[in-house]
Amino acid sequence: MEVLQNRLLEWYAHFGREELPWRKSEDIYHIYLSEVMLQQTQVNRVKEHYYPLFLKKFPTLKDIAGASLDEILSVWSGLGYYSRAKNLHECSKITQEYFPQNIEDLVQLPGIGKYTASAICSFGYRQNVAVVDTNIARVLKRFFALTQVSDSVVWKYATKFLNFRDARSHNLALMDLGAMVCLPKNPKCEMCPLASGCKGRGDPEFYTLKKKRVYENLELFLGVFIRENKIALIPSKGDMYKNMLELPSVDPIDEQFIGTFKHSYTKYRLNVNLYRMEENSEEEIVWVALDKFDELPISSLTKKIKPFLY
């Protein structure tokens, strides 16, 4: 086990993604923010746009706590899974003076589960705790040949394999190994530093089979009502985009059709149809100047209407 742990760290020293900005930071807020953003989001999108933009606007947790939710959502706009931003806002109000240093207290905060708490303790506070995300779980399931096991079992094996001499680098190495080598499909076993001890190497994909996701197709009919260079939006009534602004739903009239686009989120595949409106009966209309459109707390779906506005 020790030989394989050393090989893993040697691999990480050569190929690990230490250039990621949050890995260069000792600031717990930076590490916490990156973990929140990286949930359900590709690393490059966070690294190249949202992470630096958010830190520029909100350099500290106190800055987030002092901002309105609309301000937070406007910067988060397009990143998706907006409950993350809401939880971040709530968490900042609690932790602006003190951020907990143990898993038990961290998981009591809004939006922080076992993984995020463990990541903060390992990557930020450099504690000897195991971390298990999707990538690490895939590596461990294959390495130990685990089939149909619960998450708690995977966490136990993560602790069993943990390198207590350098737990932070060990966890980051496993994460990068899963992201770069031990891929969901066609893993690069010949490049893996753990290959000699991997019990699942003969059929790695067998240990991480997933049920094919079934998507639900939906049609949306939205109205575009523009007057005096302002567009009519309404507060979202659904849980998905709560507290955000969106286009109102309308009854489709062929003569008023503008265009259509596709959008996806969670288990839904949406076909969004836009119609020009001459009048609006919605009671909660918010009129917004078109030149302020990019600054609004809106979803990535609503952002896609921009090409149809002119």
Q: Give, in order, the Cα–Cα distances in Å from 177 to each of 183, 298, 310.
A: 8, 35, 46
**Which residues, including other chains, have CB under 8 Å from residue 281's CB and lie 6 or more apart?**
none
Contact between 230 and 288 under an 8 Å Cβ cutoff? The reply is: yes
Calpha distance 65→27 (Å, rounded): 17
Give the phi and the psi of residue 57 in degrees, each rounded to 5: -80, -40
Helix (H) or strand (E) holding 223: strand 216-224
Q: What are phi and psi of 287, to 5 degrees?
A: -90, 125
What distance lies between CA 12 and its chain's CA centroid?
24
Rounded distance between C-alpha atoms, residue 52 and residue 45, angstroms? 11
Per the residue annotation, which of 18, 19, 26, 35 is the catalytic one? 35
Q: Residue 35 catalytic?
A: yes
CA atoms of 229 and 97, how far apart (whole Å): 43
Helix boundaries (H) for the chain: 2-15, 28-38, 43-45, 51-57, 61-66, 69-76, 83-95, 103-106, 114-119, 134-143, 151-161, 167-180, 300-303
- Strands 268-276 and 216-224, sheet pairing: parallel
Q: Annotated active-site positions, please?
A: 35
